[in-house]
Chain A
């Protein structure tokens, strides 16, 4: 790419993002701040508890040793409070996928042969029981098992309406939009089903498959190219869309930021265009065609709208979302899911809307990297989950390595004393520890950021078989406790976890000094903070907030030591 003026590209990009930031106080990719997140999560938890009468018990899962025994205070393991029957499969934009089983709260990463990083309009397409991935070398991965198969060599592919087939585009210049483009439709065995005469890309740009052909952008608007006749029909409507969607009877596309959505009837009808991950927000039609979901960029985040395709009525579902996030429907068209764009981001914001009830639920999972997703029924997603979720250390890299790896996904919220993981309550401690380790919540701060230290929640079994203690009504705050540490802390009588009461006990400082010798690194730092305050001759009542939080964590460990003895 010798002609690229890098300095000029950086300046243009800088101009563009500066405009995005200036659009509104939330910015175009709104993510709640820690304080906002805490307030939102607290409100959501209170609301959820109020609505559900506390939380459901665990459902069984032998692989993680999740128990079905227990009282009603245990949290459900699912990402959302309502069952969805769905697995979200995210493309990581590199060479793999991240699967999130929403009902079991299990996450797994795996490599997909043929998927690769690069500029492409579509990253994952689900068709005919296989995932189509890649550019240059287009591959199909059977969901039922077996390796990826090379199905064509072409610049990129587009989803087709014909099940088990995709369109491939091979540009003369080797890059999208460079030179004339050869267009063909291939099946999952690599057989060419349709081969078209080359298109002049300056005049016609293929967008997506529709029954019997391709939706194309022309200089006069959006039209359909008929694969049988090779003719391009009359324009269906205006615009130069990059992405469109079709339920097999109609074609829908957006102008610009999707404030205007065009829908036009197709002359030839058939199956809906295969579900796919597009490189950007796009309208998505529900299976059956009754509803259309769009993310509308309002300038202060995106608004998720559902459009009734029969009446055109628009219903706002949620606001303040990521304009470059993505939405998808469940296979039955009853559940709508949203995910923020999380490439190189450690968290993903997920949303769930159920058509029947109108309910909307939003949560954040401590795993990122996804650039878009498709929805699978859980029964079709088994190949993405390993038989044993015992290898969380394999899940550190974005793409995963070799065999799939997976782990229980803690549902993370932020509370007064740091991160809380309510859905781990009741788990055997070793499983909770594994889950926390897998998502980086256990094992220490990444770069010594004190905010991260404050957010670390740790759990370790002092005795085999001990289960995670239910710290309080809304979440879990557990401690890394060892016999030596507890021997020191138990010199102080139980206080029920009240930090100030604990600090007022006789012998507090002596016990603290003994505990420091047995404490794991993070707690040792907390104790050092407190001792520094004491050594400076300053009372704890005047300590900075970070030292008070250190005291809170010492109190949590103190309570855990007493609880683990019972």
Chain B
């Protein structure tokens, strides 16, 4: 990697790492998010010529990080109080963790990470309409679990 590409890569990492880490929390937990992001960025370094040409490199790297850190373990998420947001409903975290993985991933990326549907679709390797489907079902389950009015 030449000097220009190295600088470009460093700039990309500065922008992409926080987004990836936050995104990975939903599937790898707080403790695994940094590792997964690091794996993804290591891949990006090795394949920078390819990655820099992508329209949505973060979405692609999300898939890389997921496949490189496969785990059967459920992610570990801290209770809201421990995360410094005691105003958040404590049952939200266990309810989130009970969602099927695809729904949890979609809900997490859309609502907790504020990603666009198209970005999530690229990250999950599916279509935007399917993302919408997962989000809709996941949120419905959360509302049911938390006994929240569906129109709140």
User: A residues touching B (Cβ–Cβ < 8 Å)?
Assistant: 1-7, 9-22, 25-31, 33, 117-119, 242, 279-281, 323-324, 341, 343-347, 445-447, 449-452
Contacts and interface: CB of A to CB of B under 8 A. Distances in A.
A12 B85 CA distance: 7
Interface string B59-89: 0000000000011111011111111110111
B18 interface: yes
Consensus secondary structure, chain A interface: loop
A148 to B, nearest CB: 24
Contacts, number: 140
A2 B149 contact: yes
A143 B128 CA distance: 56
A60 B96 CA distance: 45
B7 interface: no
Given A4-B146, A22-B18, A323 B152 contact: no
B89 A1 contact: yes
Contacts of A28: 30, 78
B148 A2 contact: yes
Residue among A15, A242, A447, A450 facing the most chain B CB atoms (10 A cut-off) = A15
B112 A10 contact: yes
B22 A13 contact: no
A14 B111 contact: yes
Given A2-B149, A30-B31, A13 B85 contact: yes
B100 to A, nearest CB: 12
Contacts of A118: 91
Contacts of B118: none
Contacts of A13: 80, 83, 85, 88, 92-93, 112
B142 interface: yes
A16 B31 contact: no
B74 A21 contact: no
Interface of B: 18, 21-22, 25, 29-35, 70-74, 76-85, 87-94, 96-97, 107-108, 111-114, 139, 142-143, 146-149, 152
A273 B85 CA distance: 28
Contact of B33 (A2, A27, A347): A27
Nearest to B20: A21
A462 to B, nearest CB: 30
A10 B78 contact: no
A450 B72 CA distance: 10
A524 to B, nearest CB: 20
B18 A18 contact: yes
A324 B79 contact: yes
Contacts of A451: 70-71
Contacts of A449: 70-72
A15 B146 CA distance: 21
B25 A21 contact: yes
Contact of A17 (B22, B94, B142): B22
Given A18-B21, A22-B18, A449-B72, 15 more contacts: A2-B149, A9-B89, A10-B111, A12-B85, A14-B22, A16-B85, A18-B22, A20-B84, A117-B94, A119-B90, A281-B82, A343-B76, A445-B72, A446-B72, A451-B71
